[in-house]
Chains A and B, each alone.
Chain A
């Protein structure tokens, strides 16, 4: 048992994160580690923010940066009744109301500083340096207030229950916070995903603590900020339903509590729309939020429909209505086992796996997915960095790299190649994926301590690879394929007949890896259904 505990402590042993944070092991200085992680991750986010953003200098439509700015302009200047109606072709508001309120607050704050940034119509396409700084600042602020505290609370909660050392908990938190995809999309490309994800983590935290109604409220806030959070909903539903119906027994007050909290918070979010614009305003917002008129996939995305579209031209063969139906069937079939497993085994350690499996099946099989949606499955997957099982850590780090890789076409378009490269190397290096480099290629006196240099020679795990030889093969060959595709994409022109060939290869590889990972999460769920949090 004693040995087992020690293993728990050193989940990221032989990683630079461990080397950096281990001097702070004494009890009196542990709190420094927390501040250092948070501040350093904020510094990195700000530094990424120096780069360009989506749609910079590309009139007339610009990109996501302009969309977010435009929503601030809309909400500050127009009455609520017009928010979902105003000049729809030019970045009309198509996110749920909480995003609109969030934009409203930030827009007010911005107008306080410089009213020109959010003048109705005349401010379109504003991209001044100070405006960019302000917008970047609002993303950092939203993340620092919501996402980061939620993640740290989660890692602490899980770590404490399992006897992980505080430094181990902080290392897990750092591994999650340095997840490159979210940083690049939020602080480079420009979006506010961290708000949605942060609220979801709060919902999970509340479930861990057994506060069911607050969890429901947090989750409602999450998907009324961005509808993508609905990818999680079956699992939250299954878990809460099971907790109030069967495990351990029927619990009417809890059921009522959850129901009332959900309805009330949902009502509260939509109430302003109804009060100031009537029912048809609410319907318009719903119509805007779920645009079924668009195609089965947008751009190129690493999911089933886009990849198999190479073989079967869906848009020619089937009508949109049929496609919607098929995608719904496929998604439900994909997520149902996860739903059932969580319903019958509503255990805390099942939550991240269940959320990962469920949201991944949405990503792979549902209608109208775009490449940024991978952030949704990536959140519960990254939360698994709390695990101390080497195989789990390896899989998580692998799928993080794959996800980052599938974002490459988008990031290239945004001109964030430098940031992509730096963050990919930095995040992998921090969690020890490159630790094999250190003892082998560095002069002896340069090998850093205490962990990397002191690992005994028999300790061979100097990069995150699972024990299973098959998985090892899959992971290494996928990395090789990624390298090849990168080289092709950067230096070789695609054949004229297929201008999107490299992007398609990217998507196909991404889909393959995501699919395998999705199966693995099912395997894990099945395997862990009778285990405890201790074995996470």
Chain B
């Protein structure tokens, strides 16, 4: 007993004075979250589960040339080849019981039972270990002064409700895929640009959604690795050649191109087919459930205007004074006609969005808008290729594509949240936009899990995550030293907004529950989703504006 007391005494003494021997390990988080994830195995999964099962089957059973041709199931392979290789790799480990269960059958609709579910869920849990490894390396390599902040940030990522909801309930492999992206971000931190290029290219070859972040990586690598302005003196145009560090350029190009080659070479003969799978432009502007972005607000505005103009014809007359007919319908009758057209056709199936009052949106326009805001975000990196700037531009690129992109999924919000996490520890003032985007972003994922059994889990888990990290990030983020810079933007508003999410979620769930009894309420199911996406869109848009303001006009933050 005496020995133990002494040892404990020593241990408590350590607490106070020596910060440097503190260990920041994600081990405990891994054990704890894995326990929870194992318990989620029997729970709900979406059609994405069958999608991935089908890919396992395709890659396992068919020769490579048929991977991107095969179309027995409607869930055709539409991820880049690296992911297909990954599925092939996983399919090598399918045990006999699972095979018998129908895991590897190429059929229209998967017929499988518990063994397949357990196997596939376990592949998600195991592949996610990479995320923990990458972040643990990040923590171990960071400076002592940053260690605790980075630890908080890393643990917030590994415990993220986003990954829990999307990967472990809904079913995808984001934890693993984002691990590669995060590794490339960390490579930038350590100024290992070649590695960064290689890792980002790899990530891109796993999931092409990372293309949205590519401008930022491109500009950073260009400016920080390829170009060199340090000895630049303009005497003639010949000198421009000397800006370019040719050896770096060739090394980088070699690495990137060879990774692309490894990825796409086996499919070179059918590139058009592969590309048509990867970029299906036949889809509509918004998803069935509007992702909380700019187009959700736009669609909502259109609905409101339609109702207003139908109920109050005067509004239309008033507005026609200012806007000429091609931009808005010329008469009330035309509005009725358009509404009727909207209701009759096979709405939902075609997935085509048709606006009654507001101008129609072309893919080209969404593309231009996205690119415009991305360019705005990357320009500062050209002048100042620091890590913080880069992360800022990365976050803003994610924002731009999420807010203005064509057919954006609500899941894409992780493209914003993950880079933002790396940024938020650097200044307390970034905390408000960060809180807004995580709160709105994670809540906007709730409709993904529409079954009643998941309600408490998703809400309580997100709540407890919020409590832990709103507190922990506040403790660890730096407060800037000058008083003048401690002006906080719309702070109270943001907290009120976040607090209001709770009654919103509960009310919508209650309405949802009441529809068991009152069939009438089923008509309003879409209304609940609409409220979700509008309210979350407001939060995400304000977060974007807040961050953009700080990014463009608050210079000291980025030095």
- Whether, in the assembled complex, B38 has its beta carbon less than 8 Å from a beta carbon of chain A, the answer is yes
**Bound Cα distance from A37 to B31, whole angstroms:** 16
Q: Flag if B36 contacts A133 (CB, 8 Å).
A: no
**Bound Cα distance from A430 to B28, whole angstroms:** 9
The bracket for how many chain A residues form the interface is 35 or more
Smallest Cβ-Cβ distance to A457: which chain B residue: B7
Q: Flag if A43 contacts B4 (CB, 8 Å).
A: no
- Whether, in the assembled complex, B503 has its beta carbon less than 8 Å from a beta carbon of chain A, the answer is no
Near A by CB (< 8 A), chain B positions 245-265 give: none
Smallest Cβ-Cβ distance to B36: which chain A residue: A47
CB neighbours (8 Å) of A50 from chain B are: 39-40, 42-43, 453, 457
Closest chain A CB from B152 CB (angstroms): 9
Q: Flag if B517 contacts A113 (CB, 8 Å).
A: yes
Q: Flag if A36 contacts B15 (CB, 8 Å).
A: no
- Whether, in the assembled complex, A325 has its beta carbon less than 8 Å from a beta carbon of chain B, the answer is no
- Which of B4, B460, B464 contacts A459 (CB under 8 A)? B4
Near B by CB (< 8 A), chain A positions 47-76 give: 47-52
- Whether, in the assembled complex, B317 has its beta carbon less than 8 Å from a beta carbon of chain A, the answer is no
Q: Flag if A130 contacts B140 (CB, 8 Å).
A: no
Q: Flag if B8 contacts A422 (CB, 8 Å).
A: no
Near A by CB (< 8 A), chain B positions 89-133 give: none
CB neighbours (8 Å) of B22 from chain A are: 449-450, 453-454
Q: Flag if B35 contacts A422 (CB, 8 Å).
A: yes
Given known pairs A3-B5, A114-B516, A447-B25, the reply for A10 and B471 (CB within 8 Å) is no
Closest chain B CB from A177 CB (angstroms): 14
- Whether, in the assembled complex, A129 has its beta carbon less than 8 Å from a beta carbon of chain B, the answer is yes
**Bound Cα distance from A166 to B475, whole angstroms:** 20
Q: Flag if A449 contacts B23 (CB, 8 Å).
A: yes
Q: Flag if A113 contacts B514 (CB, 8 Å).
A: yes
Given known pairs A49-B453, A129-B453, the reply for A29 and B467 (CB within 8 Å) is no
**Bound Cα distance from A390 to B10, whole angstroms:** 18
**Bound Cα distance from A456 to B12, whole angstroms:** 10
- Whether, in the assembled complex, A414 has its beta carbon less than 8 Å from a beta carbon of chain B, the answer is no
Stretch at the interface among A13-21, A93-101, A474-482, A514-522: A13-21
Q: Flag if B516 contacts A39 (CB, 8 Å).
A: no
Stretch at the interface among A151-159, A290-298, A336-344, A438-446: A438-446
Q: Flag if A32 contacts B42 (CB, 8 Å).
A: no
- Which of B4, B26, B453 contacts A133 (CB under 8 A)? B453
Stretch at the interface among A134-142, A263-271, A314-322: A134-142
CB neighbours (8 Å) of A112 from chain B are: 517
- Whether, in the assembled complex, A461 has its beta carbon less than 8 Å from a beta carbon of chain B, the answer is yes
CB neighbours (8 Å) of B455 from chain A are: 133
Closest chain B CB from A529 CB (angstroms): 22
- Which of A140, A418, A446 contacts B25 (CB under 8 A)? A446
Q: Flag if B464 contacts A458 (CB, 8 Å).
A: no
Q: Flag if B27 contacts A442 (CB, 8 Å).
A: yes
Q: Is the interface of A mostly helix, strand, loop or mixed?
A: helix
- Which of A29, A114, A140, A451 contacts B11 (CB under 8 A)? A451
- Whether, in the assembled complex, B14 has its beta carbon less than 8 Å from a beta carbon of chain A, the answer is yes
- Which of A10, A42, A137, A447 contacts B8 (CB under 8 A)? A10
CB neighbours (8 Å) of A456 from chain B are: 7, 10-11
Q: Flag if B3 contacts A36 (CB, 8 Å).
A: no
- Whether, in the assembled complex, B41 has its beta carbon less than 8 Å from a beta carbon of chain A, the answer is yes
CB neighbours (8 Å) of B136 from chain A are: 445-446
CB neighbours (8 Å) of A40 from chain B are: 464
- Which of A9, A115, A390 contacts B4 (CB under 8 A)? A390
- Which of A23, A134, A445, A459 contacts B452 (CB under 8 A)? A134
Smallest Cβ-Cβ distance to A4: which chain B residue: B5
Q: Flag if A114 contacts B517 (CB, 8 Å).
A: yes
**Bound Cα distance from A19 to B461, whole angstroms:** 20
- Which of A16, A47, A129, A453 contacts B23 (CB under 8 A)? A453
Closest chain A CB from B1 CB (angstroms): 7
CB neighbours (8 Å) of B468 from chain A are: 32, 36
Closest chain B CB from A442 CB (angstroms): 6
CB neighbours (8 Å) of A46 from chain B are: 456-457, 460
- Whether, in the assembled complex, A6 has its beta carbon less than 8 Å from a beta carbon of chain B, the answer is yes
Interface string of A108-148 (1 = CB under 8 A from B): 00001111000000000000011011101100100000000
**Bound Cα distance from A449 to B24, whole angstroms:** 6
Q: Flag if B463 contacts A467 (CB, 8 Å).
A: no
CB neighbours (8 Å) of B235 from chain A are: none
Smallest Cβ-Cβ distance to B15: which chain A residue: A450
Q: Flag if A20 contacts B35 (CB, 8 Å).
A: no
Write the residues of chain A forming the contact surface with B, with a CB cutoff of 8 angstroms.
Answer: 3, 6-7, 9-10, 13, 16, 19-20, 23, 29, 32, 35-36, 39-40, 42-44, 46-52, 112-115, 129-130, 132-134, 136-137, 140, 390, 418-419, 422, 425-426, 429-430, 438, 442, 445-451, 453-456, 458-461, 467
* Given A19-B28, A446-B27, 9 extra CB contacts under 8 A: A7-B5, A16-B32, A23-B472, A40-B464, A43-B457, A51-B39, A136-B453, A137-B456, A448-B27
| 10 pairs, CB–CB < 8 Å, chain A vs chain B | A10-B12, A39-B463, A46-B457, A47-B43, A114-B516, A419-B39, A426-B31, A454-B21, A456-B10, A459-B11
